[in-house]
Each structure stands twice: as C-alpha cells, then as structure tokens.
Amino acid sequence: MAYPTDRPATWFVTGASRGLGLELVRQLLERGDDVAATTRSTERLVAALGVTDTSRLLPLSVDLADQAQVTQAIAATEQRFGHLDVVVNNAGYGYLAAVEEVSDADARAMFDVQVFGVWNVLRAVLPGFRERRSGHIVNVSSVLGLLSFPGWSLYSAGKFALEALSDSLAAEVADHGIRVNTVEPGYLRTDFLRPVSLGMPRSTSDAYPAVREMVEQHLAMPGTQLGDPAKAAAAIITVATAGEAPLHQLLGSDSLSLAAGRLKALADDVEASRDLAMTTDITTAGTAVS
C-alpha cells in the first residue's frame, strides 16, 4: 500500500473541476477519503460535485505556475487533514495546431501547466514525503506522451516532457519509500475536445490541409470516445491503492493499440539505424571503444 489503511487517505488532485479530475474527486469522496482539489473556480467545483458536506473536501483556487501558491496549497492541505498521502497531477488541456502555428505565448502557457506546474507540486510535496518515507505520486500523462500525431505537437511535447520527468523521479525517490506512476489514458468521453478545454491557434495556414482535417475530425469526436472517465478514475485509485501497477500504466483499448504500434515503429527505427550507428564510435587500432 502507498499509505496507512487505518485512516482515510488524503489526496491532492490538480485540475479537478472537469472531466477525469472531477470524476476522481467524486469517487474519492464517496470512498471516505480526504481530498484537496485545485481548480480555477472553487464554486464551480463544489457545484459540479453536488456535495453539501465539505468536511472531507478542500477546494483550492491555485495557479499551478506560481510556486508560492502551490506551496501554500500543500501547506493548507496538511494543516486541514494532518497528512498527505497521494498526489495526482492531472491538470491539463488540449491544443490543436501545426508546429508553425503555435505562438510562443501559447507554448509557454502549455508548459506552465503540464511541466512547470507539475514541477512546482513536486518541489512542494517531496520534502515531506521523504521525511515520512511514504507517499505516492500519480502523473496523468496520455498515450500522446508516447507518440504524436500531426497537429498535436504542443500537447504531446508537454506530455513527453512529463513522461521523462516521471521516469527520472521514480528512480530518484524509490529509496525514500515514495512510489511514482504515470498513467496514459486514450481518448476519454469528457469535455477534453470541446472548446472549454481546448486551445486553438489565433491564425492558421493553408499549408497544412492534413492538420485542418485532423482538427475537424477531433472536434467532431466528443461523444464517441471509447474511454469511460468513471472507469479511468477508478483505475487511478487502483494504481494508488494496490501498489502493483507498472511505472507506465496505459488506460483504454485505444491507448494499448496505439502504444503497441509505437513500440513496433521504434523497434523498426532501431534496426534501420543500426548500420550507420555503428560507424560513429571512436576506434583505436580498429577496435570500437564503447
């Protein structure tokens, strides 16, 4: 187990007002756990949950890109509930555009949420986790953190960075009794592909018809996604409570299929690279030096 079972667990969940985050908070409260939930609107979160008893809920309006606000939120969580067991870095949003169409401001805003915001949370929680020699971090990535499509460059870049951060973190904190998992959902039937959760470029180019077609397809997708957000939220709880999930936990049959295809493509690239790769080592008297 990632935390003691003789008391309710305390969770810190970012991006909780919609979609997967909202469903996760709802299920955690139903379990009887304590939850600190970050959102841009605490009123919207409480209304969406439909709860009247907020004794186990601490809604927090936090700018994740602001280290001071994040540190204060972690401190408020521990002050309210006395401890912190599981952190779920879930905040994020989609963005559909060709690489050329992504502005500097939009790129930085995406990384503020998906990378630097996560880093702010980690800096705030890791000292306490290390001191207690316990704690569990679940970073919500995406199958698009393992592969990318035309038009998904910005979103995937952030998720690829989160994957690398998570892999390093898991190895660094294992000796401190801290567990780390990355979950990679496929397409979930949420508002993720609706305007409320989706960024778009201010201007587009006629040079990328395939991207325009992809955008149209994705904007028409809501309501047809295979993934059930309630089941995905339950899976995240299982990852944290069972303690047996792999470092990379895929969620959804589409995620599995896409990841398997990516593995094959990568393996093919490795083999195709072999001959030229073997020519670039330093050699001494005809012997390669590794």
**Residues with a known catalytic role:** 141, 155, 159
Read off φ and ψ for residue 271, nearest 5 degrees. -65, -40
Tell how strand 34-39 and strand 10-13 pair up. parallel
At what angle are helices 104-111 and 153-173 packed, to 10 degrees? 30
| Buried/exposed 252-265: b ≥16 CB within 10 Å, e otherwise | bebbeebbeeeeee
- What is the distance between the alpha carbons of residues 149 and 128, in angstroms, rounded to a whole number? 39
Q: How far apart are CA 113 and CA 199, in angstroms?
A: 13
Q: SS3 helix, strand, coil % of the chain, rounded to 5?
A: 50, 15, 35
* Token pair belonging to 286: 């005809």
Name the β-bridge partners of 288.
283
Look-up of token digits 């880093």? 119
Kind plus residue range of the DSSP H or E element containing 237: helix 229-242
